[in-house]
Amino acid sequence: MLKEKIKELAKAYKEEVIATRRHLHANPELSYVEFKTAAFVKERLEELGITQIEQKATTGWSALIEGKNPGKKVIALRADMDALPIIEANDVPYKSQNPGVMHACGHDAHTASLLGAAKILNEVKDQFEGTIKLIFQPGEEVAPGGASFMIKDGVLENPRPAGIIGQHVMPFIPAGKVGFRQGLYMASADELYITVKGKGGHGAMPETLIDPVLIASHLIVALQQVVSRAASPKIPSVLSFGRVEALGATNVIPNEVKIQGTFRTLNEEWRAKAHQKMLQIAHGIVEGMGGELDFEIRKGYPFLQNDPELTARATEAARAYLGDENVLDLDIWMAAEDFAYYSQVVDGCFYRLGTRNEARGIVSGVHTPTFDIDEDALEIGAGLMAWLAVAELEKA
């Protein structure tokens, strides 16, 4: 059976996939400047004998693996390649050699897994019908998202896939298990940049000032009405502020306060209304207290919706590959992912690869200096991606 052959190859190539992941982890590059990473990926694809490789969005690639009857159906597999501006705190042989840059979100594992899947699929291409499109994209971590540029550059055309499957590490799921969710899964993400302007001066003379610190304090509290009172309880929404900068002193009121935050939800109509509500409340509070306001809303990724039918088939295939006990049902996740752009164009399935190992102390969340993965998960990372693509082609 092809499934057993893929399992056998995933096991045989496990150490190679781990070595690939370690190379990528030690040599991380930030969003949209993944030049060495992209060159490495292309070199590996060419070593496999894959010739239909196209450059997309400067540092991205698409490539085709054609089975028998290649025009029958096309399925895409996607991985992202960029790292984060984080100083790695792990003491491991493959620690980042690029100071201040770290693969703290698992994109090294995603790229290594897809390269492993490519090797497996290329080896068994005479045993399936259809075409598998490999997508290696830049810039997932920085808005507007590399996926948007890849789509504009035609990555979902010539040939157009019937569906696209993406995989992402999940440090809250034990290695050896994976998770799926049909329908709404991840949130849209907008960045908020607010400047409250007043009139600074000596803290002992408040009557002569327009205090932007006080105004900003009222504003942060008042904006929570958007989620607590304006939003329907049926629509998940998050409004969080993570940076407040008021460069005064104990007795100095500054001229302005800068605030940065994020707004996330799972409904595009409400998203637009929330933007207007935030602006309305902010102008009312700030101008009513005598200040001036600059409020920029940078619209980020849309919400991510997994196609129910494609995801149901992928879940069934994963259960066949791993066993029912190793396939979990996921809840809504209010983080954001630019895979959402693909899912707005073609049927998408975005699932989670468990990478946690408490016995080995591998428990840190993504986007932290101590994030790491249980590399045993990479055998599933490569093998399951290959199997999901083949299984979906068989459903033509």
Q: Are strands 347-356 and 163-174 parallel, antiparallel or unpaired?
A: parallel
φ and ψ at 370, to 5 degrees? -105, 10
Whether 264 contacts 237, CB under 8 Å = yes
- E strands within 49-148? 53-56, 60-66, 74-80, 131-137
What φ, ψ does residue 305 adopt, rounded to 5°? -120, 120
Does 372 qualify as catalytic in the annotation?
Answer: no
Rounded to a whole number of angstroms, the distance between the first and last alpha carbons of the chain is 19
Structure tokens at 374: 């249980």
Question: Tokens 């998202």 map to which residue?
Answer: 145
SS3 label, residue 242:
strand
Task: Output phi, psi for 395, to 5 deg.
Answer: -90, 10
d(CA 172, CA 75): 28
**Which three-class secondary structure state does DSSP give residue 252?**
strand
Residue found under tokens 């598998």: 132
The catalytic position among 82, 337, 372, 379 is 82
Q: Is 108 a catalytic residue?
A: no
Quote the radius of gyration of the chain (alpha carbons, Å). Answer: 23
Question: Is the separation of the CB atoms in 241 and 260 below 8 Å?
Answer: yes
CA-to-CA distance for 100 and 71, rounded, in angstroms?
45
- The residue type found at 98 is N
| C-beta of residue 65 within 8 angstroms of C-beta of residue 121 | yes
Report residue 69 as tokens.
């009857």
Q: What DSSP designation does 106 have?
A: S
Q: Of 179, 169, 173, 177, which is closest to residue 331 (Cα–Cα)?
A: 179
Q: What is the DSSP string of 149-163?
A: HHHHTTTT-SSPPSE
Which residue in the list 140, 337, 375, 379 is annotated as catalytic? 140
- Give, for 88, the enclosing helix (H) or strand (E): none
Active-site positions?
82, 140
